[in-house]
Structure 1
């Protein structure tokens, strides 16, 4: 629980303090999308299939903390610094960096005891994280297109 709380404070602080390249409305849209994506993914993979979870099987209120604090702050930072004007190789490198960051954070979360794997493997995460980042980009571009 200590790692969860300290990392949440660090993520929130960094997200507040970094220079913003995106508008407040875009920050809101990214944060909300991250929360919805997190709940959708976790309800399916944790509660329905029991592939992984927070603390212990079932629903615990502290298990909402990563979804409400880690997911939106990570989404905001990912989009805020995404190299939209760079070439494809640089964009792929950026997504790879964030994937490695998330894999490292997932490992530390498991070691700290607030997250666990059952049927889930790190190799699945390595494949899923780039897809989740792509969904964030897809949503962000959709939002920008329809809100001007």
Structure 2
């Protein structure tokens, strides 16, 4: 739980202090979209199929902060720093660096409690390596089509 709370505090401070692009309404959109999308995926992968989970492989109040306050600021940072208007190559490099950062962070969350809080069932880092860029692309398309 310690690692989760520190991550939430750190990610939110960085996201809000470094924000130069996103308006309050855009931030609200990003938070609601992220929470709804994450909860929809986690209902199946986490709860139904036990691919991964936070703390315990069941519906768990302790996991609520991870569901509502961990990923939205990460998505804010991704969109705030995204190189809109840059070359496709620069955007690809940006995706690559984010992929490395996300996979590294996921590895850190797997350490034992109290610092770690994430657990694998049948899920593994390879699945994340494939799924993360797709999720970032969905976020980017949502931002461009509905928020920007």
The TM-score with structure 2 as length reference comes to 0.93
Specify every segment of 5 or more residues in structure 2 that has no aligned partner in the other structure, as ranges. none
Specify every segment of 5 or more residues in structure 1 that has no aligned partner in the other structure, as ranges. none
Give the Å deviation of 1:109.
0.7
Tell me the C-alpha RMSD between the 2 structures: 1.2
**Equivalent position SS for 1:85:** coil
Give the Å deviation of 1:73.
0.3
CA contact (8 A) 2:20 2:80 kept: yes
CA contact (8 A) 2:29 2:147 kept: no
Aligned to 1:75: 75
Which aligned runs of 4 or more in structure 1 are off by greater than 4 angstroms? Answer: none
Aligned to 2:87: 87
Listed one character per residue, the Cα deviations across residues 71-102 of structure 1 (whole Å, up to 9, x for unaligned) are 10011111111111111111111111111111
Listed one character per residue, the Cα deviations across residues 20-47 of structure 1 (whole Å, up to 9, x for unaligned) are 2122211111111111111111111001
Listed one character per residue, the Cα deviations across residues 126-146 of structure 1 (whole Å, up to 9, x for unaligned) are 00000000000111011146x
Aligned to 2:50: 50
Aligned to 1:119: 122
**Equivalent position SS for 1:50:** coil
Give the Å deviation of 1:52.
0.6
